[in-house]
């Protein structure tokens, strides 16, 4: 049984207050996070800490991102209703759930088969509708491009060129770039087919983006 109690809702309210104090001002993003039962995404060993502003392991060498990171990336995207959004790195599905509650058409790619299967089954149970794809995030989804917004939820060594080609002119892509586990958050605004406005927005910690074959 998926229990979302008054206690959980109270803890989410405190989390929203913390995110607001850290600079998250987009009310739509805050409302989405406030509706999502994060404790249901987390292993039982960490469930009592679900509404702390921390990342936690979810298996397969992956993590569920810190709520502030999810909110920050989503806020940078400046999402509007009915936009088509591509997420690279489904993971636990927490970021995809936030995107889906913003009335977007979400396409999300995961290369770890176990996580893909688990999240594809779980998210619809809590009312989050997304299109789930098992595949290589570096390649994106050219058959469904262009996308209004693209979000990468793992650290890339450089800006993935194939994803840039799948971004609509006027669109935004948010991606953490850097070696190892420390990256700078990049916001890329596509001004034309060959012209981009690139800005950086602080240091973050992500698991690395993997470009080898899909993991079974």
* Residues 70, 55 contacting (CB under 8 angstroms): no
Find the catalytic residue in 5, 20, 21, 65. 65
Helix, strand, coil share (%) of the chain residues, nearest 5: 35, 30, 35
Q: Please state, in angstroms and rounded to a whole number, the distance separating the CA atoms of residues 48 and 46.
A: 6
Q: What is the DSSP letter of 37?
A: -
Long-range CB contacts for residues 64-70, cutoff 8 Å, separation at least 24: 64/38, 64/91, 64/92, 64/94, 65/91, 65/94, 65/95, 65/153, 65/206, 67/15, 67/19, 67/33, 67/38, 68/18, 68/19, 68/22, 68/24, 69/204, 70/33, 70/94, 70/95, 70/98
Q: Does the annotation mark 92 as catalytic?
A: no
Q: Are 147 and 84 in contact (CB under 8 A)?
A: yes
- The residues annotated as belonging to the active site are 65
């Amino acid at each position: 049984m998926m229990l979302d109690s008054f206690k959980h809702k109270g803890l989410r309210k405190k989390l929203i207050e913390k995110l607001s104090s850290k600079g998250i001002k987009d009310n739509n993003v805050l409302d989405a996070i406030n509706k999502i039962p994060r404790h249901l995404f987390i292993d039982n060993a960490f469930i009592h800490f679900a509404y702390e502003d921390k990342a936690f392991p979810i298996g397969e060498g992956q993590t569920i991102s810190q709520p502030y990171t999810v909110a920050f990336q989503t806020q940078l995207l400046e999402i509007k209703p009915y936009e088509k959004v591509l997420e690279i790195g489904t993971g636990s599905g927490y970021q995809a759930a936030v995107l889906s509650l913003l009335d977007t058409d979400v396409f999300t790619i995961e290369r770890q088969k176990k996580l893909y299967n688990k999240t594809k089954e779980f998210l619809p149970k809590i009312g989050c509708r997304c299109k789930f794809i098992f595949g290589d995030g570096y390649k994106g989804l050219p058959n469904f491009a262009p996308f209004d917004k693209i979000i990468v939820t793992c650290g890339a060594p450089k800006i993935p060129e194939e994803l840039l080609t799948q971004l609509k002119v006027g669109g935004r892509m948010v991606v953490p770039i850097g070696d190892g586990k420390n990256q700078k958050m990049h916001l890329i605004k596509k001004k034309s087919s060959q012209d981009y406005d690139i800005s950086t927005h602080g240091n973050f910690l992500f698991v690395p983006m993997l470009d080898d074959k899909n993991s079974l």
